[in-house]
Amino acid sequence: GLPPYDETNIFARILRGEIPSRRAYEDEFAVAFHDINPQAPVHVLVIPRGAYVSIADFSASASEAEIVGFWRAVGHVAKELGLEAQGYRALTNMGPQGGQEVPHFHVHLFGGRPLGRMIG
Ligand code: 5GP
21 pocket-lining for ligand 1 (C-beta < 6 Å): yes
> What is the ipTM for the molecules in this complex?
0.99
What letter would DSSP give residue 4?
Answer: P
| pLDDT tens profile 58-103 | 999 999 999 999 999 999 999 999 999 999 999 999 999 999 999 9
pTM attached to this predicted model: 0.97
- Active-site residue, 108 included: no
pLDDT band at 1 (very low <50, low <70, confident <90, very high): confident
**Alpha-carbon gap, residue 35 to 43, rounded angstroms:** 6
Closest-CA residue to 15 (of 2, 29, 1): 29
Given 34, 43, 104, 106, which residue is catalytic? 106
Name the phi and psi angles at 56, rounded to 5.
Answer: -65, -50
Ligand 1 atom nearest 92 alpha carbon: 4
35 pocket-lining for ligand 1 (C-beta < 6 Å): yes
CATH number, domain 10-111: 3.30.428.10
Q: What pLDDT score does 106 carry?
A: 98
* Strand order from edge to edge, sheet including 107-111: 23-26, 30-34, 42-48, 107-111, 89-91
